[in-house]
């Protein structure tokens, strides 16, 4: 957000007055003046499975907190102070509200970091990066990169009708179906899934079958299909998200 010298001086005076009086109308004025910063930062987190409008709301909440906490007497630029506050609010939103399956916080944070690294490398390289390249950029091991990407299949993916306790492992959308009754309930779940699975490409249908019905590992699936394990993980995540969207659309 570019401000000329006159605007900056006026905002600084407003910050000083707000710090002294805490008048709500001054706070609202400061928030409105910096909404562009909140939207800019929200757009940096777009294309990660969350509507942009929701991200802007989360970023705006972070902006409100930043205005409330900012101390102009310290001599720091407000945007310098506010940016980490807003970004932290966005990261918490993804970490705490975007995961339908219980995933360790360490893995959630690693998934977000790795996702950002992948996006950056794709732009730089003009192709999908290798696991090794991602690991170097993210400062982590290749195994952890694979674990982080695999965790993406848990993000915003949920069972159509199953409910499990927090202490049980949740293997994913298809793996959760029919657990209460190994016969009738599973048959009903598969019957409900078949029309949705038919909407996916054949290769993704095969991958889901191998992963959740035959219990194959991602490495075994990658060897069978002749693609990388990283590619398998991303396709599985995309397929589960697509199934969730189709299921939700059918409920409307």
Q: What is the pLDDT of residues 40-79, one digit of tens each?
A: 999 988 877 778 888 999 999 999 999 999 999 888 889 8
- Of 134, 169, 168, 170, residue with least CA distance to 149: 134
Task: Give the model's confidence band at 151: pLDDT under 50 very low, under 70 low, under 90 confident, else very high.
Answer: low
Place domain 105-251 in its CATH homologous superfamily.
PhyR, sigma-like (SL) domain (1.20.140.160)
| Strand partners of residue 155 | 99
pTM over 0.85: no
Cβ(98)–Cβ(56) under 8 Å?
A: no
Per-residue pLDDT reduced to its tens digit, 101-149: 556 777 778 887 888 888 788 778 877 788 888 889 989 888 888 777 7
- The hierarchical CATH code for the domain 5-97 is 1.20.120.1810
Q: According to CATH, where is 1.20.140.160 located in the chain?
A: 105-251
Q: According to CATH, where is 1.20.120.1810 located in the chain?
A: 5-97
């Amino acid at each position: 957000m570019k401000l000329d010298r006159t605007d900056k001086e006026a905002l600084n005076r407003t910050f000083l007055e707000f710090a002294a009086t805490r008048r709500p109308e001054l706070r609202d004025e400061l928030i409105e003046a910096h909404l562009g910063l909140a939207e800019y930062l929200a757009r940096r987190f777009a294309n990660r499975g969350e509507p942009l409008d929701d991200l802007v709301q989360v970023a705006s909440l972070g902006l409100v907190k930043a205005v409330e906490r900012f101390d102009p007497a310290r001599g720091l630029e407000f945007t310098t102070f506010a940016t980490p506050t807003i970004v932290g609010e966005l990261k918490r939103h993804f970490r705490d509200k975007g995961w339908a399956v219980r995933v360790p916080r360490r893995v959630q944070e690693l998934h977000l970091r790795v996702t950002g690294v992948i996006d950056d490398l794709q732009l730089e390289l003009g192709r999908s990066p290798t696991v090794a390249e991602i690991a170097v950029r993210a400062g982590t091991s290749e195994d952890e990169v694979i674990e982080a990407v695999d965790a993406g299949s848990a993000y915003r993916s949920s069972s159509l009708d199953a409910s499990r306790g927090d202490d049980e492992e949740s293997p994913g959308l298809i793996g959760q179906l029919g657990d209460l009754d190994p016969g009738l309930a599973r048959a009903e779940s598969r019957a409900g899934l078949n029309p949705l699975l038919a909407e996916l490409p054949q290769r993704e249908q095969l991958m889901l079958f191998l992963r959740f019905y035959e219990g194959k590992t991602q490495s075994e699936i990658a060897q069978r299909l002749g693609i990388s394990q990283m590619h398998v993980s991303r396709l599985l995540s995309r397929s589960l998200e697509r199934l969730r969207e189709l299921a939700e659309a059918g409920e409307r």
